[in-house]
Chains A and B, each alone.
Chain A
Amino acid sequence: MAILEVEDLKVYFPVKAGIFNRTVDFIKAVDGVSFTIEEGKTYGLVGESGSGKTTTGRGIIGLETITSGRVVFNGADVTSRKSKSKDMRKDMQMIFQDPYSSLNPRKRVIDIIAEPLRNYERLSKIEEKKRVQELLELVGLSPESIMKYPHEFSGGQRQRIGIARAIALKPKLIIADEPVSALDVSVQAQVLNFMQDIQKELGLTYLFISHDLGIVKHMCDEIAIMYKGRYVEQGTKYDIFQNPQHIYTKRLVAAIPDIDPRNREKQFKFRRQVQKEYESSYSNYFDNEGLAYGLQSISDTHLVALPERG
């Protein structure tokens, strides 16, 4: 069952200029994105910075005003103002990119993690404390640290606090906006594996936003590549990594570093070849404005942005 359906999502930001501050143009941060996420799966959204992947996530959860399009979550349209009900927010949570700014420095851990509980569940002080301690234990932090402040934790620990806060209400969908980009590599693996563990444990669905292809390969079942607000290619992990069709995806995959020094020469040649293909066939993949074309289906799971043939 699809837990989240996004149809032709558009988020435009007005560009204002002139004496009267009129809107002269729009920045099309997200320009017609559609996808569905199955329950229990991890959907990866990949793109370079400025490609609109974060804006897509924020648009879905309601932090960004959607220009047009529809977001259907759990069978209910959550786009219209009326249905921006509290219940919807309860089942959809977000993990933020920066573990430093996403925790209020003036609040104790117990107040941070209990914030969603206080909004939705009437718990007594003792119950609440117990729940927070359980959550801390679940994310691998000492339950004794509930009275500490965020600055007393390391980046990885802070991100775990952020995750504990996001799963406190047992949501169905978690939008993870580059959850490990601000962490160093050793901690990244820790947090990612932990995210997979709780996914199994709680039956979570992830919308995983990242720019790191390695991480996405590790985490996701389905992957979409975004470029300048549009989808370039979408498919299963296999489709994207083994059978990339769009030149942009090919370049991205070719850019993944190979640790084995014996492959260096081979890798170098391969990249050269991809670069040549990119230069010679640019117009086959991008329109006059340098944007991706509409998506064409090339198999059951695999969509690629190609010009319409014929």
Chain B
Amino acid sequence: MEMKQIEAQTQDPTKSPSGLKILWRELVRDKVALFSLILLLLIMIFVYGVSFILDQDEIVKVDLFAIHQPPSEEFILGTDYGGRDVFGQLIIGTRNSLTIGFAVTLISGIFGIAFGLIAGYFGGHTDNAMMRVLDFFQVLPFTMLVIVFVSIVPKYTILAFCLIFAAFSWMGIARLIRSKALQEKELDYVQASKTLGTSHPKIIFKEVMPNISSLIIVTLTLNLAANIGIESGLSFLGFGFPESTPSLGTLLSYATNPQTLEFRWWIWVPAAVLILVLMLLVRNVGEALRRATDSRQRRG
């Protein structure tokens, strides 16, 4: 029902702008952000498209006759120490990073939003208890715990990784949403819904949540920028996926070998640049959206 409303709202030109429309307008006005969004979409289409054609098993197969080949016509970006095609690894690695980034953002986002909304809406003792749980999660040494869980999990798949990671990264968004929900619940329309006999869950998710949707979109986008780099970071430390799963982080970690760092740039430079570019692009978009939520900073 919510979606229908939003859709209808954006279709009618006579309405005063809705939150989503303001976000979109700001994005279009900010040329850097618009360019970032287009480039990001192009990279994503390319990566997901090409990785569909590529054969992962073929790419990760060790070929001892093609070790450390510089870029050539056969291997566009050369090969690594196992004779594996760097370009193929780059594409599939980027795909994995993006997928993980999106999945972690989504899972932690859904949980964090629900947690924050419930804590903020009910307030009082509920809020107090829930926030202490949140504090507990927040003081845990994040990276270390993820590494521990990643090592003890029996079957190390992308899904398992996403769940473990999401379990330790929902706190920021929960805190933010809670503070907004605390404000929102004092407004009369929430009180009115209560006197009209609407149930709490319905008020929370159908009345309060649509009213903070722009904040949710902005936060999720900015979180996405951070989350895309996660998998690379862990792989770089050696706790990412095994070498049978190509990863940007694995490619980067080859640069810890001084020989590779100095003479075989084709192995690690593209991965490093790609991570940097991806995170910058998402961030540009997110920053534009964030500006749109504050009318004093808007450009559009």
On A, residues with C-beta under 8 Å from B are 58, 61-63, 86, 89-90, 92-94, 96-98, 101-108, 111, 115-116, 119-120, 149, 151-152, 162, 165
Contacts and interface: CB of A to CB of B under 8 A. Distances in A.
Which of A86, A94, A98 is packed against the most chain B CB atoms within 10 Å? Answer: A94
A63 B195 contact: yes
A106 B194 contact: no
Given A97-B188, A101-B187, A101-B189, A106 B211 contact: yes
Tell me the interface secondary structure of chain A in the complex: mixed
A149 B17 CA distance: 11
Contact of A98 (B188, B193, B195): B188
Interface of B: 5, 9, 15-16, 18, 187-189, 191-199, 207, 210-211
Tell me the interface secondary structure of chain B in the complex: helix
B196 A93 contact: yes
Given A89-B196, A90-B197, A119-B198, 17 more contacts: A58-B191, A61-B195, A63-B194, A89-B197, A94-B192, A94-B195, A96-B191, A98-B188, A104-B189, A105-B189, A106-B5, A106-B211, A115-B196, A115-B198, A120-B197, A151-B16, A165-B192
A28 B198 CA distance: 30
For the complex of A and B, 3 pairs with smallest distance between CB atoms: A102-B188, A119-B197, A116-B196
A89 B199 CA distance: 12
B192 A102 contact: yes
A307 to B, nearest CB: 38
A75 B118 CA distance: 35
Contacts of B207: 104, 106-107
B197 A105 contact: no
A97 B211 CA distance: 20
A107 B9 CA distance: 10
Contacts of A116: 196-197
Contact of B196 (A62, A106, A119, A152): A119
B56 to A, nearest CB: 45
Nearest to A92: B195
A93 B189 contact: no
B196 A103 contact: no
